[in-house]
Chain A
């Protein structure tokens, strides 16, 4: 979902198979992220957390 819906194409499908037998998405281009939080909204499993380094 996030791989498809990210407007800046931050994610790519990873090559490695996870323990659950899926190819999890991988954050390949974090510098492109514009913090729109769309991936968090689209992910049904609460699996993504977008953090802003400047927030801390």
Chain B
């Protein structure tokens, strides 16, 4: 992996007139943007043939800063828009940035059915465990007992696990990392970009302003340290399971990496068979 300077990334990929970003100081969304652009740079992907699609939320602001075509769509509908883009012009590479609320709550059904169809998209979900933009309401991914502005005494609803959902429905590439794992994030995004079919990368990201403040987790630094401590790699986890031990830590790593025919290829075949 080539270690390049930020100046190159800023020069080549960012809209300089839009900077600085609206993200709060220390927000992990900037890191995710950085990782994605580095992955794109490493793979030499033509940015003019790439479309970035997003819904609404802090995380969905990313396409606005990238110097390429982008769609900042409706809340929860990013994957629906992206499906349209991919079907209309299969030549394009379509990358979706979506928040946890965007992807798992209001956009949940689009998420499920895009995986079912296996459309060739790269979906990067930035999971900050909360609705960041609207002031910190409970999200479907908010862990039990966590405080949000709508659950001031702690959350009593069980959270959903987006990566496991993607795995169960049959996405050909699923991985989860945190912003404290930059190298792993970049290599997973690279694999996801190269995969033909629905690839899903979930990145746990600190939101110091809403989630961090309400749960007294301190600064971004404290939150990233917490991510490192409260997660466990899938390889270690499987070893532990084999030994009969369990843990309540969040499992991270690469969950699925298989080959599966995507919708566009299937459609092309189907169409030529008809003739």
Q: Residues of A at under 8 Å CB distance from B?
A: 1, 4, 20, 22, 35-38, 40-46, 48-51
What separation, in Å, do the CA atoms of A41 and B31 have in the docked complex?
Answer: 7
Question: Judging by beta carbons under 8 Å apart, are A49 and B5 in contact?
Answer: yes
Tell me, yes or no, whether B271 is within 8 Å of chain A by CB.
Answer: no
Question: Judging by beta carbons under 8 Å apart, are A41 and B5 in contact?
Answer: no
What are 29 A-B pairs with beta-carbon distances under 8 A? A1-B26, A1-B224, A4-B221, A22-B25, A37-B3, A37-B4, A40-B5, A41-B34, A41-B35, A41-B183, A42-B31, A43-B31, A44-B23, A44-B27, A44-B29, A44-B30, A44-B179, A45-B23, A45-B25, A46-B6, A46-B9, A46-B10, A46-B14, A46-B34, A49-B5, A49-B6, A49-B10, A50-B6, A51-B5
Given A4-B221, A22-B25: A45 and B6 interface contact (C-beta under 8 Å): no
Give the Cβ gap from A18 to chain B, nearest Cβ, in Å. Answer: 11
1/0 per position for B1-34, CB-CB distance to A under 8 A? 0011111011000100001110101111111001
Given A1-B221, A36-B3: A42 and B27 interface contact (C-beta under 8 Å): no
Question: Judging by beta carbons under 8 Å apart, are B221 and A45 in contact?
Answer: no
Known contacts A40-B5, A49-B6; 10 further A-B pairs (Cβ under 8 A): A1-B220, A41-B31, A41-B35, A42-B224, A43-B31, A44-B31, A45-B30, A49-B7, A50-B5, A50-B6
Which of A42, A45, A51 interacts with B182 by CB under 8 Å?
A: A42
Which of B5, B7, B26, B183 interacts with A44 by CB under 8 Å?
A: B26
Contacts of A48 on B, CB cut-off 8 Å?
Answer: 6
Contacts of A42 on B, CB cut-off 8 Å?
Answer: 31, 182, 224
Give the Cβ gap from A51 to chain B, nearest Cβ, in Å. Answer: 6
Contacts of A44 on B, CB cut-off 8 Å?
Answer: 23, 26-31, 34, 179, 220
Q: Residues of B at under 8 Å CB distance from A?
A: 3-7, 9-10, 14, 19-21, 23, 25-31, 34-35, 38, 179, 182-183, 220-221, 224
What separation, in Å, do the CA atoms of A48 and B3 have in the docked complex?
Answer: 14
Contacts of A50 on B, CB cut-off 8 Å?
Answer: 5-6
Give the Cβ gap from A45 to chain B, nearest Cβ, in Å. Answer: 5
Contacts of B182 on A, CB cut-off 8 Å?
Answer: 38, 41-42
- A interface secondary structure, majority: loop
What separation, in Å, do the CA atoms of A41 and B30 have in the docked complex?
Answer: 10
What separation, in Å, do the CA atoms of A22 and B219 have in the docked complex?
Answer: 12
Give the Cβ gap from B206 to chain A, nearest Cβ, in Å. Answer: 8
Question: Judging by beta carbons under 8 Å apart, are A37 and B220 in contact?
Answer: no
What separation, in Å, do the CA atoms of A36 and B27 have in the docked complex?
Answer: 23
For B208, give the chain A residue with the smallest CB separation.
Answer: A44
Give the Cβ gap from A47 to chain B, nearest Cβ, in Å. Answer: 8
Give the Cβ gap from A36 to chain B, nearest Cβ, in Å. Answer: 7
What separation, in Å, do the CA atoms of A32 and B35 have in the docked complex?
Answer: 25
Which of B5, B35, B221 interacts with A37 by CB under 8 Å?
A: B5
Contacts of B34 on A, CB cut-off 8 Å?
Answer: 40-41, 44, 46
What separation, in Å, do the CA atoms of A39 and B87 have in the docked complex?
Answer: 40
What separation, in Å, do the CA atoms of A21 and B30 have in the docked complex?
Answer: 20
What separation, in Å, do the CA atoms of A42 and B28 have in the docked complex?
Answer: 9
